[in-house]
Amino acid sequence: MKKTYCGSCHCGAVRFEADIDLSEGTFKCNCLSCTKARSWLAVVKPEAFRLLAGESSLSDYQYGKKSLHHLFCKQCGISSFEWGIDKNLGGKFYAVKVTCLDNATADELIRAPVTYLNGRDDNYKGAPAEIRHL
């Protein structure tokens, strides 16, 4: 069942809401960026994401194919969400960092299924051989 989560960066300058059903799954990727940031994400459609504050506090970082917009707060440096366009995901999507959901309970996070993606080898349909470090 979807729940409206409130999320933010560390300093609170960037705040958002997202309607997410964590029981539908989350993901962790082994690409260089996700590994360094220890990203744990949930994908939502644009209609399920609302930026409440901090648009002017966001900076955009892109690399490689520049298919994702890795947004982070200029003040505290925390990336609480990113967005991109992927035909396999139905077009535009937001990838919300579940660790930035202020009202997610420990129990909800523990119960959330995690899919592991092998982004390091551009194989997003398969899991990496090792996941313990993710």
Residue 98 CB partners (closer than 8 Å, separation 6+): 22, 26, 40, 41, 42, 104, 109, 112
Cα–Cα nearest to 133, from 68, 24, 39: 39
Domain with 83, as residue range(s), is 3-118
Predicted pLDDT of residue 6: 98
> Which CATH number does the domain housing residue 83 bear?
2.170.150.70
In a domain, 130, yes or no: no
Domain count, the chain: 1
In a domain, 126, yes or no: no
Residue 38 has pLDDT above 90, yes or no: yes
pTM to 2 decimal places: 0.92
In a domain, 132, yes or no: no
Predicted pLDDT of residue 67: 85
Instruction: List the structure tokens of 53.
Output: 């504050």
List, in sequence order, the alpha helices (H) in the chain. Answer: 32-37, 106-111
Higher pLDDT, 130 or 76: 76
Q: How does pLDDT run across 47-98, given as a tens digit for each residue?
A: 999 999 999 999 999 988 888 999 999 999 999 999 999 898 899 999 999 9
